Amino acid sequence: MVEKSMPEAEQRVREILATVKDPEIPVLTVEDMGIIRDIELDGQKVKVKITPTYSGCPAMDEIAADIRKALLAEGYEPEVVSLLSPPWSSLWISAEGRRKMEVYGIAAPLEEVADKRALMGEKRVVKCTHCGSMNTRLVSQFGSTACKALFQCNDCLEPFDYFKCI
């Protein structure tokens, strides 16, 4: 029966997807970002459903193309479909993804209430990715890409990115 071998076959596809990186945060894979919603396999045909992070994120078209390319290279017949609903949430970033993000120098998203306080500049709750100090300030709600805000550390004075809660 086909179904018996499904998990293993899907595992193989997931391993390939784990090689596809987010072009804007290249330490994160598309799996870490939590944008893979579903995988449908039918022989060599594979349908990957992804959810865009931000509507206008220019990386999304590139990510879809990279997924297609990676699967083609392994002999699959890929189709990448974009799903709008439910909308992507920063809660879908994996624990491993959050860890890698912090090491890379981007503070991982806080939960919603704390995020709002941080982005209103009300509370010092975002930790400096350079020195670990909590004495940081919001510079701008919008950062180098749609998903980030810009912060600065009052202790080591270095600027750093914070991944916004969405």
Partner 1 sequence: MNKSLYDYLILLGDSPLILGHRLSELCGHGPNLETDIALSNIALDLFGQVRNWFQYAAEIHGEGKTEDDIAFLRYEHEYRNVILTEQPNKDFAWVIARQFYFDAWHYSLLTQLCESRDERISAIAAKSIKEVTYHRRFSSEWVKRLGDGTEESRARMENAIAHFAMYKGELFEETNVEKEMFASGTGADFKVLKAQFESFTNEVLNEAGLEIPQIDWTQRGGKHGVHSEHLGYILADLQYMQRAYPGMQW
Site residues (vs partner 1, CB under 8 A): 52, 54-58, 84-88, 119-120, 139-146, 150, 164, 166
CA dist., res. 105 & res. 166, Å (int): 19
| Residue 21 interacting with Zn ion (CB under 5 A) | no
The beta strands (E) that lie in the chain are given as 21-22, 25-29, 36-42, 45-50, 77-82, 106-107, 136-140, 148-153, 159-163
The partner residues of 50 in beta bridges, in order of sequence, read 36, 82
Question: Cβ closer to partner 1: 87 or 105?
Answer: 87
Sheet containing 77-82, strands listed edge to edge, beginning at the edge strand earlier in sequence = 36-42, 45-50, 77-82
Q: Rule CB under 5 A: choose which of 128, 147, 149, 165 binds Zn ion.
A: 128
Q: How far is the CB of 19 from partner 1 (least distance, A)?
A: 26
User: Which one of 58-66, 69-77, 114-122, 132-140 is the stretch in contact with Zn ion (CB under 5 A)?
Assistant: 132-140
Question: Cβ closer to Zn ion: 62 or 155?
Answer: 155
Q: Which of the listed partners (partner 1, Zn ion, none) does 142 bind, with a CB threshold of 5 to 8 Å by partner kind? A: partner 1
| Residue 153 interacting with Zn ion (CB under 5 A) | yes
Using alpha carbons, list the distances in angstroms from residue 107 to 93, 95, 129.
13, 13, 6
Question: Cβ closer to partner 1: 100 or 164?
Answer: 164
Question: Cβ closer to partner 1: 89 or 94?
Answer: 89
Q: How far is the CB of 56 from partner 1 (least distance, A)?
A: 3
Q: Rule CB under 5 A: choose which of 133, 141, 145, 152 binds Zn ion.
A: 133
Written as one letter, the residue type at 88 is W
CA 136 to chain CA centroid, nearest Å? 24
